[in-house]
Structure 1
């Protein structure tokens, strides 16, 4: 079996059941299709909203192996496709909402990411990726599983977390598992991976040499559907801060000065909780890349304008309000937004997103 076929087989094995479509809550700037649905925690009917709360600018966010990260097929022999810039050294940050509405979106991300990585790798002779999925609400949701409501009295974490093993791994949970912006290595709760991640190198992110990179990405990105309303933009700033990336930080070694930074927001609602304005988010990210905005590719899979008939369980943009995450990515010269209601995300990632990464690598010249 070729590597490409092996990858396809791995993707087929990624299918996750979506047992019950979670209920939607909506925020300013987005409208969801009214419906009633059952989630792991509640049953509710969604409503529409079209006003936007202002973000306060005064507060700030908190403080080697040889194999390719996703074990892709080697690039075709077309000479040296590597541009003079990043040369395939790329740091990927995924900021994924864990609201009760996100099970389908997480499945689609997991199914599309390996193909995205393969598309990019084929453009670079020396593809070297770091991949992190960050804590977007500053909590470890396994605490709910271990509470009297479930593990202590019922011996399990409910029908949407059947793989969670009560008490077995709690001694592995520490400060970084509850830190905003820290890499996730133990997602727990409803529709989460529910096992600690075994990452090569002992980091909170995937690096080259990972024995099963597809499964590793599933582990870190299947964040579940029992999170608080997350400050996604603020969590991104925290993930790239000197505090978290320094030698003693939770994400130590993740952010490399000579690597292109690619960040991806995935949220089916408005980011109401982030305090930092789009400009302050932009300023912090560019500062983390040494002042070079060409060193960043900004992607988001978020609600878009409704065209045609609405899909059940989908959330749509509600103009004239501009979504916070859309405003953030639009400040970067290399940016693209995908539709959170799309039937699949592979088209977005393998098309415009991958092309932007290649363009940015041609422009970014590490100093």
Structure 2
């Protein structure tokens, strides 16, 4: 496990951040929109070092390397600029299923604080603001795949009281941000991992959650045939599959749940290098980056550098990819 995290007070006015987020979304219609213009809200900075996907990040760039775009827009040169509304021959998506797996080791204290207080609630609101989206549902689990049941409680509470009545959150909830905050207090009291690095398998945990026996047990009914699947794996170490599996095998397990790689968006959040970053120490996440790379052929795989901090940027910038995937989504028949 990563040692001696550097303490850092993580502070942000959530209301102000949400206001900036909403401002960045003004003028966008449908899944995707006209290229953005003006200031880059929450960009990775001059080095462009935070978020990478189908193209390298440029100076002051958006998710896909364009310049001058907002956090949800595609600036000049951005690969996904001007997607517009659903194209001919594509049904588009109206539903999104999101699965988060978070490393729950002690070195993740700062990251979990940020997720609970700022990132998850703001991400939920940003999803609700996507035009054309009817609903979303979201599930959370820790990074131990035994068991890979979605969590309906947090570490400090017996029950998150999801209004869905299921072990996942539904956008119809009147307290969706509160539910996200509760779930971000990651519970792993039922984990059967030893704690010797086998509890740091967020991608393996996601894959297992979408397979039998978990997909036919407590998680049954979560995945919808007509929904885009978004998976987010977060760790300050690296994916360490037990037993060992190559990145492509983990890719294939997740895609098998949807039948088509184009209907999956993958976001890995970890250290691009070993560092003492905004949330303390992080190890280089080579395997997690390699897994993200397996999704890039369809422009569905992305990696956010934990060393850069600002987890909220990693998740909100991923919305650009989600919007793009929505325009191309076509349900795969059973």
TM-score range, shorter chain: 0.5 to 0.7
User: Aligned residue pairs: how many?
Assistant: 250
- How far the C-alpha of 1:313 sits from its partner, in A, is 2.7
Flag the 1:282–1:79 CA change in 2: closer, same or farther, 3 A: closer
Matched with 1:234 is 204
- The structure number with the bigger radius of gyration is 1
Match of 2:222 among 248, 254, 271: 254
2: CA distance, partners of 1:135 / 1:312 = 18
1: CA distance, partners of 2:213 / 2:225 = 16
Match of 1:281 among 229, 240, 250: 250
Q: Which runs of 4+ in 1 moved over 4 A?
A: 35-38, 75-82, 224-227, 309-312
2: CA distance, partners of 1:120 / 1:209 = 12
- The TM-score with structure 1 as length reference comes to 0.60
Matched with 1:55 is none
1: CA distance, partners of 2:278 / 2:177 = 30
2: CA distance, partners of 1:77 / 1:344 = 25
Matched with 2:325 is 360
1: CA distance, partners of 2:322 / 2:240 = 28
Per-residue Cα deviation, 1:191-230 (whole angstroms, up to 9, x for no partner): xx33311012321101132231111112222116987331
Gaps of 5+ in 1: 1-24, 27-31, 39-71, 139-178
2: CA distance, partners of 1:260 / 1:273 = 25
* Structure 1 SS opposite 2:214: helix
Per-residue Cα deviation, 1:173-201 (whole angstroms, up to 9, x for no partner): xxxxxx5221012333xxxx333110123
- How far the C-alpha of 1:327 sits from its partner, in A, is 1.4
Matched with 1:184 is 151
Matched with 1:127 is 134
Asked if structure 2 preserves the Cα contact closer than 8 Å seen for 1:268 and 1:302, the reply is yes
2: CA distance, partners of 1:211 / 1:361 = 25
Per-residue Cα deviation, 1:245-266 (whole angstroms, up to 9, x for no partner): 23xx111111111111100011
Flag the 1:101–1:87 CA change in 2: closer, same or farther, 3 A: same
Which is worse superposed, 77-86 or 264-273?
Answer: 77-86
Asked if structure 1 preserves the Cα contact closer than 8 Å seen for 2:231 and 2:267, the reply is yes
Matched with 1:101 is 107
2: CA distance, partners of 1:223 / 1:356 = 26
- How far the C-alpha of 1:77 sits from its partner, in A, is 8.3
- How far the C-alpha of 1:343 sits from its partner, in A, is 3.5
1: CA distance, partners of 2:320 / 2:5 = 39
* Structure 2 SS opposite 1:244: coil
* Structure 1 SS opposite 2:213: helix
Matched with 2:308 is 342
- How far the C-alpha of 1:102 sits from its partner, in A, is 0.7
- How far the C-alpha of 1:79 sits from its partner, in A, is 6.3
Flag the 1:310–1:347 CA change in 2: closer, same or farther, 3 A: closer
Gaps of 5+ in 2: 8-20, 32-84
- How far the C-alpha of 1:364 sits from its partner, in A, is 1.8
Per-residue Cα deviation, 1:119-161 (whole angstroms, up to 9, x for no partner): 34433323311100024325xxxxxxxxxxxxxxxxxxxxxxx
2: CA distance, partners of 1:36 / 1:93 = 26
